Structure 1
Amino acid sequence: MTDQHQVSIVRRPGRTLSVEDGLATLLAAYHLRTEAEKGAPVADVDELPERYRAEISDPRTAFVDDVVLVALSGGAAVGCLVVTAPTDGRSEIKRLWTDPAFRGRGIASDLLGAALADAAESGAGAVRLSVWKWRTGAIALYQRFGFTVTESWDERDQLVCMERAV
């Protein structure tokens, strides 16, 4: 029996990223979808807030000190996740995204598992993340991986902050 999703997770230090590796497309989809879900849809990347445009146009600079995990299927980027370098003993997970055409294949779980392993290898004692409260599927995934809701470190309304030990 062959593996049905045949996806590999590649670890890329932020300083080695390139806009040609498919990450920019994934980040653009993530940010455009998020803005739409927040009730502020924009037509294209040029209308996103500057900080998000910067991630898309120059991920190497945006994530220079971080690790970016990219899920590849047949050489194409189909998912991503950013793990920040530990600060005060904690890493943070950001930008978990799977191309909608590849959802339901365990890619987000694979990325999350790889992120936790990376955080442990980097010496983090805990990993935290924030997620919009309407992303119930993502919250359920994080809970399956042992994340629990914690006091918010972010003032944005409707944001759920979660953490777990590594």
Structure 2
Amino acid sequence: MSEPATSVVRVDVDAHRSLLEGLLAEYHRWMETVVGRETRVSYDADARVDSDLRDVLDPAMACLGWLAFRGDTPAGCVLFYGVADDKAELKRLYVRPAHRGHGLGQALTETVVDVAAGRGYGTLALTTPPWSDAAHALYDSLGFERTGPYPETRLPEQYHDDAIFMQLDLTDWAD
């Protein structure tokens, strides 16, 4: 039996809202469980899903989203924010557990990198929890470097001590 085809598509809010909402809810429920276990910080998954959806719907937020599919099955998502004149931020990279190991996280990340570079951003930044070893390996393989918190991060300050901050120089990406 052959492997299902994979694809990454930009979120069309009218057509994909419920798919994106479902994936974001899974991501935030996972985060709520792990944050509760690993830290002493509270995490409200429902409020975060609502916030992410408002951002995607609000043109002033400069937020774009993509969905990854394996065949016809929605398997992952990622969000992109333009946070400063020269900096963009990757957020909410999530691949459903049953679909991990098929390159979807890399495809979603490379899509955001390509879009950020194509829009003239010099840096793509992200935050990731310290327990996401697979994500760290992916970001490392693409050339992201660990940094301290950057002023434009959308991560609330209360989470800074429990996060890894990374940035990619997009001029290197284009080479």
Could you tell me the TM-score, scaled by structure 1's length? 0.82
Shift in Å at residue 37 of structure 1?
0.5
Shift in Å at residue 121 of structure 1?
0.9
1:9 aligns with 2:8: yes
* Partner-residue secondary structure (3-state), 2:8: strand
Shift in Å at residue 49 of structure 1?
5.3
Match of 1:158 in 2: 162
Q: Is the 8 Å Cα contact of residues 19 and 57 (structure 1) preserved in structure 2?
A: no
Match of 2:20 in 1: 23
Aligned equivalents of 1:49, 1:28: Cα separation in 2: 7
Aligned equivalents of 1:17, 1:165: Cα separation in 2: 33
Q: Is the 8 Å Cα contact of residues 80 and 111 (structure 1) preserved in structure 2?
A: yes
Shift in Å at residue 63 of structure 1?
8.6
Shift in Å at residue 11 of structure 1?
1.9
* Equivalences, count: 158
Query: Residue deviations 1:18-66, cap 9 Å, x none?
Result: 423x11110000000001111169xxxxx63524333358842499522
Aligned equivalents of 1:68, 1:7: Cα separation in 2: 17
The structure 1 residue matched to 2:93, chosen from 81, 90, 96, is 96
Shift in Å at residue 100 of structure 1?
0.9
Match of 1:76 in 2: 73
Q: 1:66 to 1:54 in 2, by over 3 A?
A: closer
Q: 1:125 to 1:17 in 2, by over 3 A?
A: farther
Partner letter of residue 152 of structure 1? P
Percent identity, aligned pairs only, is 28
Match of 2:137 in 1: 140
Match of 1:129 in 2: 126
Match of 1:44 in 2: none
Which has more helix, going by share of residues?
A: 2
Partner letter of residue 125 of structure 1? G
Partner letter of residue 10 of structure 2? R
Root-mean-square deviation (CA), in Å?
2.7
Aligned equivalents of 1:56, 1:67: Cα separation in 2: 10
Q: 1:63 to 1:96 in 2, by over 3 A?
A: farther
Q: Which ranges of structure 1 fall in alignment gaps of 5 or more residues?
A: 42-46
Q: Is the 8 Å Cα contact of residues 150 and 162 (structure 1) preserved in structure 2?
A: yes
Aligned equivalents of 1:110, 1:116: Cα separation in 2: 10
Could you tell me the TM-score, scaled by structure 2's length? 0.78
Shift in Å at residue 97 of structure 1?
0.3
Q: 1:95 to 1:17 in 2, by over 3 A?
A: farther
